[in-house]
Amino acid sequence: MRLGRFKWRKYLINLTVIPALIAALATQAHAIECKDGYQRVRGDQLATPYCQDAYLAEVASTYGMKASAAKIRDNPNFKREVCRFIGHDIRVQSNCQQELPSGRSGRF
């Protein structure tokens, strides 16, 4: 049984596209879900550094600061800067506790 030139192309495209789609869907299913700085792990809410940094960026944006979770994770000095600016907010005090000097919680 011989396949024509165009049928082979269609067959090869299907062989490359379908596994790529399956991989993309599998990756999305295992994405980390954060809510208010907590990650759902087996039904429990855990405070993970990944979600805490995402929440810090979210709260910083409410103050008008342009901060992304990736930048906060990748640059400890930027995280300190964000914490100095909004560390007084009760939503992020526990996240900024290590970044702020002892005895102070945010701007003074």
Structure tokens at 66: 């342009």
Q: Which residue has the higher pLDDT, 20 or 72?
A: 72
Alpha-carbon distance of 40 to 108, in angstroms, equals 35
Query: In whole numbers, what is the pLDDT of the chain averaged over residues?
Result: 80
pLDDT in tens, 79-104: 999 999 998 899 999 899 888 776 55
- pLDDT of 65 reads 93
Name the nearest CA neighbour of 54 among 85, 103, 92: 92
Name the nearest CA neighbour of 86 among 101, 75, 96, 76: 96
Q: Which residue has the higher pLDDT, 64 or 32?
A: 64
